[in-house]
Chain A
Amino acid sequence: MKNFFRISFLIALFFGFQFNSNAAEKVEYLKTDWSFKGPFGKFDRAALQRGYQVYQEVCSSCHSMKYLSYRNLVEEGGPEFSVDQAKAIAASFEVKDGPNADGEMFTRPGRLSDKFVMPYDNEKAAQAANGGAYPPDMTVLVKARGGGVDYIYSLLQGYEDPPAGVTLDDGVYYNKYMYGNKIKMSNQLSDGLVEYSDGTNASVEQMAKDVTTFLMWTAEPHLETRHKMGFKAIVYLIILTVLVYFSMKRIWSRIETKV
């Protein structure tokens, strides 16, 4: 058994280094309780629905969500809007389709099978409208940033006046969590900016938390299934390991050597 501890120690050592190297640039992010953290973590359904609302009303005018479809809003483990709600959401967007029988492109109301409509036709148009900066696609954004959800959550609340000595160009803002502190997105959230249909008070903190939860789901739509399956898989493996351990002891007891 001593060897197992040695092996686990070695594994811990290997990955300890890795964790360290990932946290090369350390900033203390704002902390909050995420319902989806930990082995039994699940999304807070209401937070996902509110988060969608914040994304829709605030972020989506600049940030695309190109890998998500309207049908995903209905799926289990997500915001779980009803089919009718999701259909209504999809139908509120104009989708370019075609060509039709006459060879013409046309627009029609969105359907569940459509991908989220992009705010700009292409990257250049997005840059032109945003002072040269491209608002990144948000589908996998939380996985594409070192600090993950904590980073996004902090960034949304990290706007402040620049310290003395820091001069900002036009269209550049100071954010204490942004890499290099300079960001081309202005502060987007203010208290009461959206009106939550479930009556939750729309404080900046609340909106930041809700929209970040929503972004976690868009990045990891199968997170709940993964957590559930992981628990079953590991429990199964542990039981099997114990059984195999005793079989091994039994078999090796035929000879005088210890295992």
Chain B
Amino acid sequence: MSEHEYIPKSKVGKWFNDRLPLLTLANHLTDYPTPKNLNYWWTFGGILTFCLITQIVTGLVLAMHYIAHADMAFQSVEHIMRDVNYGWLIRYIHANGASMFFLAVYIHIFRSLFYGSYKSPREIIWIIGIIIYLLMMAAAFLGYVLPWGQMSFWGATVITNLFSAIPLVGEGIVTWLWGGYSVDNPTLTRFFTLHYLIPFLILGLVVLHIWALHVPGNNNPIGIDIKKPSKDTVPFHPYIVIKDGFALLMFMIVFAFFVFYTPNILGHADNYIEANPLVTPAHIVPEWYLLPFYAILRSVPDKLLGVIAMLSAILILAALPWLDTSKIRSAVFRPLYKQFYWILVADVLILGYVGAMPAEGLYLLIARIATAYYFLHFLVVLPILGFKERTTPVPLSITEPILGGSPNLAAVKKKDDFKNQ
């Protein structure tokens, strides 16, 4: 949002730009004033863009060799792993890339929760983000079905069967989804089609996500509104580009470690057994990134209510900008919220853990308590906290706490106390 109008230097550039202002857009993106105090948690937006592009590119190549047919899918994946040049590399990048994508998106979401990035005026960015997250889960689930292993088949059976919980029309919907009376070839071919479609929907939404971000500009670790451009901002290029690049490389090292040295550790061994409708695996578990929601689903004894609970757990996030009543964005100045934040992080990790365990005995009890707490956090704790919490004084600009070094926060505090007297 630079104030001055951009005029290309060359004549050709000006001619083109008058007709299609791509150069203005490029100029906006490079000059884009960014808060200079963004920490490394802010680099995950760039990392996620990288993840999406990686998935699309590797996915395209895989789709050239994959055969979406119940009798041939498993075999075609082995063909990719054995006979396609570097097919093993491309498939392992794609399979582990999904996990890396979710790892990054969870960090991105929890960063937003910590620094209050979802609050006014950024509600639309946040809601688009939630839709992207939902689509990511759909894409990941559909993609996991494609190798047509045992977990693919039974995972598809369990998840599609959730729709049967809908009263009256549920059974009909499930048959319609399957394209038959069980998960079979028609299910596989439509899952492949949708798996191919969704990433492009995500790509479109990512453009909107970034567009919506560029209207108010980035939030920042101290969560205050800043003047742009000003002493508090730096141009996106080169400052943020190089920092994002550095963080991305660190991320890629972790990524490469998984791809080259433990490519199957995040998957389930049963998915190397070809799908068999007559043999049910001992434990049907989703991929690690869906486990917290799986735990919520199973913690409710009633099927329909379980499905509702699971969906609500995601959709409740869309209402977060209005559930959180505090005017202060960053948890840095919210001593109580900070504690509840970490309890929520622990709660979600616990849900993930019990989601991988059999739903019985102590695990089930823990899952129920953790599920209850999850909703309590959003529906009770956050609304009340906004009214009750005594926040610490917020600095007026970014330069203020940074220029004088760390003790300055205390100085700001004193100044505020002084004002109050």
Interfacial residues, chain A to chain B (CB-CB below 8 A): 3-4, 7, 10-11, 13-15, 17-22, 24, 39, 67, 72, 136, 139-140, 143-146, 148, 179, 219, 221-222, 226-227, 229-231, 233-234, 237-238, 240-241, 244-245, 247-248, 251-252, 255-257, 259
Q: List 12 A-B contacts (CB under 8 A).
A: A14-B288, A15-B265, A17-B288, A21-B288, A24-B356, A136-B273, A143-B272, A144-B270, A230-B260, A241-B250, A245-B246, A247-B242
A257-B103 contact in complex given A140-B78, A229-B89, C-beta closer than 8 Å: no
Q: Is the CB of B243 within 8 A of A227?
A: no
Contact of B245 among A17, A144, A230, A244 (CB under 8 A): A244
Q: Is the CB of A255 within 8 A of B36?
A: yes
- Shortest C-beta distance, B301 to chain A (Å), equals 23
In the assembled complex, B397 has its CB within 8 A of some CB on chain A: no
Q: Is the CB of A146 within 8 A of B269?
A: yes
Q: Is the CB of A143 within 8 A of B269?
A: yes
Q: Report the bound CA distance from A221 to B265 in whole Å.
A: 18
Q: Report the bound CA distance from A255 to B238 in whole Å.
A: 12
SS of A interface (majority): helix
Contact of A21 among B78, B260, B356 (CB under 8 A): B356
- Shortest C-beta distance, B38 to chain A (Å), equals 10
Interface string of B239-273 (1 = CB under 8 A from A): 10011011001101110110111011110111011
Q: A-B pairs with the 9 shortest C-beta distances?
A: A230-B260, A21-B356, A144-B272, A3-B40, A241-B249, A143-B272, A67-B78, A248-B242, A140-B272
Q: Is the CB of A230 within 8 A of B288?
A: no
Q: How many A-B residue pairs have CB under 8 A?
A: 124
Q: Report the bound CA distance from A240 to B242 in whole Å.
A: 12
Interface string of B201-221 (1 = CB under 8 A from A): 000000000000000000000
Contact of B78 among A139, A226, A247, A259 (CB under 8 A): A139
Q: Taking each of A3, A14, A229, A251, which has the highest tally of chain B beta carbons within 10 Å of its own beta carbon?
A: A14
- Shortest C-beta distance, A222 to chain B (Å), equals 5
A237-B249 contact in complex given A7-B40, A11-B103, A67-B78, C-beta closer than 8 Å: yes
Nearest opposing residue in chain B for A1, CB measure: B40
Q: Which of chain B's residues have a CB closer than 8 A to the CB of A144? A: 269-270, 272-273
In the assembled complex, B402 has its CB within 8 A of some CB on chain A: yes
Q: Report the bound CA distance from A136 to B279 in whole Å.
A: 13
In the assembled complex, B380 has its CB within 8 A of some CB on chain A: no
Q: Report the bound CA distance from A13 to B288 in whole Å.
A: 13
Q: Is the CB of B260 within 8 A of A14?
A: no
Nearest opposing residue in chain B for A67, CB measure: B78
In the assembled complex, B230 has its CB within 8 A of some CB on chain A: no
Nearest opposing residue in chain A for B289, CB measure: A14
- Shortest C-beta distance, B257 to chain A (Å), equals 7
Contact of A24 among B79, B273, B357 (CB under 8 A): B357
Q: Which of chain B's residues have a CB closer than 8 A to the CB of A139? A: 78
In the assembled complex, B37 has its CB within 8 A of some CB on chain A: yes
Q: Which of chain B's residues have a CB closer than 8 A to the CB of A259? A: 243
Nearest opposing residue in chain A for B79, CB measure: A67
- Shortest C-beta distance, A106 to chain B (Å), equals 25
Q: Report the bound CA distance from A257 to B240 in whole Å.
A: 13
- Shortest C-beta distance, A141 to chain B (Å), equals 8
Q: Report the bound CA distance from A4 to B40 in whole Å.
A: 8
A226-B89 contact in complex given A19-B265, A139-B78, C-beta closer than 8 Å: yes
Contact of B257 among A146, A234, A251 (CB under 8 A): A234
Q: Which of chain A's residues have a CB closer than 8 A to the CB of B245? A: 244, 248
